[in-house]
Chains A and B, each alone.
Chain A
């Protein structure tokens, strides 16, 4: 007994050691980014990428934010950061609402072909972005939305509906049926049931959907690069342009700071609601 107990303790320490090592490994790039974003450029070129700054400076952060040359004007990332917000907020809101509506209809109205329709929507989740580029460019042209933030909102909403429908459909499939029946008998109409009964009980799945959509659309690059112009670039495209500019000196400290700025919103979203994310995913997946 005693020896097997001792064995357990040893293997537990070994486990922690492996986990600690992996955690450090994954944190390494973030450390490099942050450490070097606070160094003057000379120190990066002459010194070690792994060392802490000898002279601390916040200058690269200010430069990345407001003065770096990205487009024609030296505007920094600021206007593109704003573009991304103008894109992400409506795109997340609209795709989440449509997902809730679809989930409600697919689970509460067992119409003919409901499962087939759901399967088709699920299939859209697996379509690679590249395939839809040309048809989408045509569509945006016809709609007169090419090269605008509105156009990007449209693209991301269309692409997100498959995911949001999947989330809400699975969540509502486990929702007590009698509540819906009761609300119908009490006189609630189609939208009354959704707004007064289903949505107020949908907290966890709304959090999951919002995080998922926010992260995906914020980090999305291909659509942004394909369907926007200088005035409507999202942050990902702007960051790429900042880092890949071929003229002048490579300002690594500014690039590191810019990359970190671009990642801040998604980091905040995860830190604030990561707990709900896992909980909501579990809640939706128990019954489906």
Chain B
């Protein structure tokens, strides 16, 4: 398929900056998800890639070729829209054929493409229907089919699943992932749903206020978020963030956590990145994922990176697959993910193990990851 390079792309409307200096390079066959809250600039960035909006500065390269000045039709990029944007006056077959007809592809070749795309997406029985006679999921398939028909260099998906109901959304998510694996296509996908981003992406670009917060694999974004915003945005439940002071201990580094009334609780840290040493004596924010915590049982021995703590159970939320428990940790809420059949009650005090192997620390002032 294709490589895509965004080089210092900027966009402003008058004095308002919508996009600040975005640079992203995509390798052939990558699935990039642009994710962020509404108004973060992700849709603007996608429209710039599509050619529907012009960047104020910067360059776009597709396969190394500068496409910045090209109109959308000449970029060889297909897009699937949030509303599917199926042409209401045309049948499904005509919709899929439309981009080919506009490119003056021969009639016989067009028919061949339409039938092979219809077969791939299992919409052969719908070809003669009009869009208004289709369900949401079927419309979605047709929209994808139309994007596939002309075999573009790059696919754009603009929140394609947000108009579907919950169950269908899961099914279509799997299908889009399958399609990506099968075609090896290069895809840019916009969503505000962080779970969609995690499941689909080979790389995620987290955006906020027109600034690229972090660009990385789902693993990196989830486990080593670049800053407090990414830590809070990605993952459900969100990462637990605890205010602490970084101290030097005889055996290594330690965190002093203020719990309000008593003297701070001290927790010894396992081996941490050497960059942490520059922050000794300063305030930091410690980030711990909910699944790093387990209920302590009789006879359990803490591993080398595990620590023990006591806390009061506030709320219990069973999800079926596991149980989310909100703890009161010195006046702060702290969410942990436990086994589905855990036997705790609200108000109960309990003892927990926390694994600090994946603990991350952020500078309390800049809110950036210390790494």
Contact = CB atoms under 8 A, between A and B. Distances in A.
Among A179, A185, A189, A192, max chain B CB count under 10 A is at A185
Given A178-B81, A178-B83, A181-B81, A187 B89 contact: no
Contact of A185 (B52, B82, B83, B90): B52
Contact of A178 (B72, B82, B146): B82
Given A181-B81, A185-B50, A201 B89 contact: yes
B103 interface: yes
A182 B73 contact: no
A223 B52 CA distance: 46
Given A181-B52, A197-B87, A201-B89, A186 B98 contact: yes
Contacts of B88: 179, 201
A222 B362 CA distance: 81
Contacts of A186: 73, 98-99, 102, 146, 150
B79 A182 contact: yes
Instruction: State the majority secondary structure of interface residues on B.
Output: loop
B329 to A, nearest CB: 47
A181 B88 CA distance: 14
A185 B155 CA distance: 11
B78 interface: yes
B102 A182 contact: no
B77 interface: yes
B79 A185 contact: yes
A184 B73 contact: yes
Contacts of B73: 184-189
A182 B89 contact: no
A182 B81 contact: yes
A187 B85 contact: no
Contacts of A24: none
B72 A184 contact: yes
Given A197-B87, A201-B89, A187 B102 contact: yes
Interface string B50-75: 11100000000000000000011100
A192 B88 CA distance: 15
Contacts of B50: 181, 185
A184 B102 CA distance: 10
A117 to B, nearest CB: 22
A73 to B, nearest CB: 50
A183 B85 CA distance: 9
Interface string B101-133: 011000000000000000000000000000000
Interface string B244-278: 00000000000000000000000000000000000
Given A178-B82, A181-B81, A187 B87 contact: no
A176 interface: yes
A200 interface: yes
A58 to B, nearest CB: 46
Contacts of B150: 186
Contacts of A201: 88-89
B230 to A, nearest CB: 30
Nearest to B89: A200
A202 B74 CA distance: 28
B81 A192 contact: no
23 contacts: A179-B85, A179-B87, A181-B72, A181-B79, A181-B85, A183-B98, A184-B52, A184-B71, A184-B72, A185-B51, A185-B52, A185-B72, A185-B78, A186-B102, A186-B150, A188-B73, A192-B102, A196-B87, A196-B98, A197-B89, A200-B89, A200-B90, A201-B88
Interface of A: 176, 178-179, 181-189, 192, 196-197, 200-201
